[in-house]
Amino acid sequence: MIGIVDYGLGNVRAFENIYRRLGIHVEPVRTAEELARADRLILPGVGAFDWAMAKLKQSGMIDTLNRRVLQDDVPVLGVCVGMQIMANGSDEGRAAGLGWIPGRVERFRDEWFNTHTHLPHMGWNDVELVDAPVLMAGLPDPRFYFLHSYFFHPDDESHVIARTCYGKIFASAVRRGNIWATQFHPEKSHDWGVGLLANFSKV
């Protein structure tokens, strides 16, 4: 069963709808007990870094989530802010992140753009694959939907599996072992997103 971590942030229903159309067993998980039954996890997120970490802690699931991912090696896919909170911390706030993939979340800088009104990065953009044969299998010329003003800068470049150019080249997808994450929103990315989510169900 794919469990969508429902801690009050993210497009939980959109993920549910896609997986149910694909005939793949999916359930939102809201308690540590439900989390313990999932064999794959999706960690969505929208909004601010500190708020996401606060909501996750308030959910009562964070200890079980850490155990399932770090000790039980359950595959997990973080999306948008769900990706960012996998870092050690963020320029957006003061809270410590989960630290699953060493790195820091940084803000796009105005000087990277020709004009002053380019944030947030919103809309469709090309994604250049670096090393994502499983997650991106069968997805030629992938394009995904983005909505963000901050990006994940991993300490180890070998964790980058896809890059995107927006003002500068940044990591739009990362992986460390059983931990996968995308800055873009597969649940809003039509056929490319459906294909990616289907692939994740098989990792």
Least confident interval from 72-86, 122-136, 186-200: 122-136
* Confidence at 194, pLDDT banded by 50, 70, 90: very high
- Residue 115 is predicted with a pLDDT of 67
Above 90 in pLDDT, residue 15? yes
pLDDT in tens, 175-185: 999 999 999 99
Q: How confident is the model at residue 11 (pLDDT cuts 50, 70, 90)?
A: confident
pLDDT at residue 168, as a whole number:
86
What is the predicted pLDDT for the residue at 108?
Answer: 86
d(CA 102, CA 83): 12
CA 159 to CA 167: how far, in whole Å?
21
Average pLDDT, the chain: 93
Rounded distance, CA 15 to CA 80, Å? 13
SS3 for 81?
Answer: helix
Q: Can you list the domains of the chain with their CATH numbers?
A: 2-200 (3.40.50.880)
CB burial class (10 A; 0-12, 13-18, 19+) of residue 192?
buried
The span from the CA of 18 to the CA of 4, in Å, is 12
Catalytic site residues? 80, 185, 187
State what percent of residues in the chain have pLDDT above 90.
79
Residues 6+ away with beta carbon under 8 Å from 7: 30, 55, 56, 58, 59, 61
Is residue 172 within 8 Å of 182, Cβ to Cβ?
yes
Q: Which residue has the tokens 């289907």?
A: 198
> Which band of pLDDT confidence, cut at 50, 70 and 90, is reported for residue 9?
confident
What pLDDT is recorded for position 47? 87
Note the pLDDT of residue 167: 83
Tell me the per-residue pLDDT of 62-117, one tens digit each, with 9 for 90 and over: 999 999 999 999 999 999 999 999 999 999 989 999 999 999 999 988 777 776 56
Task: Compute how many other C-beta atoms are within 10 angstroms of the C-beta atom of residue 23.
Answer: 6
pLDDT of res. 116: 59
